[in-house]
Amino acid sequence: MKKQQSGFTMIELIMVIVILGILAAVALPKFADFGSDARAASINGALGSAKSASAIVHSAYLMGKASTTGEGEAAVTKVTLEGTDITLANGYPANAAELVKAAGMTGDFKASGSRIEQAGNTYTNCAFTYTAPLAAGGAPTFAGITGEGEGATTTNLPVIADNCR
């Protein structure tokens, strides 16, 4: 009596391998680039935190919680938030470094000039800028970044994944 064998034929095995190869070729590029989406989401979260911190600092200033030391052009106005002194310019954080302090992001984000980016960031455009108001009654400005160095320009927000590649 002949014993019947069970299992896959060579053709079935090859077809499964071909189908898996096609699926991998189609699906892998989508899964491979979640990093730029995550970086953009992180910087946009920091942007939201920075805008909130700016508003909180300004509200403390308007409520009379600011203190001024010195006189004339040497006068420095500060607000204390959770034990941290924030230097002000026209009622808002004076620069990007003060804003990072006010938002409580000093460990994860860094400020360089007006630019705020994630610590360890190597992506030129994966950041935003903060500029304090130039006159009393003005509002601060936030902008995205395109380009680097002297040729850098500002763009609309939010920061998109293409900026973080």
Q: What are the tens digits of pLDDT across the range 58-102?
A: 999 999 999 988 887 667 899 999 999 999 999 999 999 999 999
What pLDDT score does 100 carry? 97
- Work out the angle between the directed axes of helices 96-103 and 34-62 (0-180°, nearest 10): 90
Look at residue 17 and tell me if it is in a domain: no
Q: Which helix (H) or strand (E) holds 152?
A: none
| Number of structural domains the chain divides into | 1
Given this model, what pLDDT does residue 150 score? 54
> What value does the mean pLDDT of the chain take?
88
Answer yes or no: is pLDDT of 128 > 70. yes
Q: What is the percent of the chain with per-residue pLDDT over 90, rounded to a whole number?
A: 56
Asked if the model's pLDDT at residue 1 lies above 70, the reply is no
Residue 21 covered by a domain: no
Note the pLDDT of residue 163. Answer: 83
Residue 142 has pLDDT above 90, yes or no: yes
How far does Cα 41 stand from its chain's mean position?
A: 7
Non-local CB neighbours of 112 within 8 Å, separated by 6+ positions: 96
Residue 13 lies in a domain: no
Q: How far apart are CA 97 and CA 83, in angstroms?
A: 16
User: Would residue 112 count as lying in a domain?
Assistant: yes
Q: Which domain holds residue 135?
A: 34-164
Could you say which DSSP state residue 158 is in? S
Residue 28 has pLDDT above 80, yes or no: no
pTM (two decimals): 0.76
Distance, in Å, from the CA atom of 15 to the CA atom of 118, rounded to the nearest integer, reads 46
In this prediction, residue 144 carries a pLDDT of 87
Q: How confident is the model at residue 50 (pLDDT cuts 50, 70, 90)?
A: very high
Q: 132 vs 75, which has greater pLDDT?
A: 132
28 falls within a domain: no
Distance CA(22)–CA(27), nearest Å, equals: 9
- Domain assignment of residue 20, yes or no: no
What pLDDT, on a 0 to 100 scale, did the predictor assign at position 83? 92
Structure tokens that stand for 69 in this block: 């030391």
Report residue 124: phi and psi, to 5°.
-55, -45
- Give me the pLDDT at residue 7, please: 78
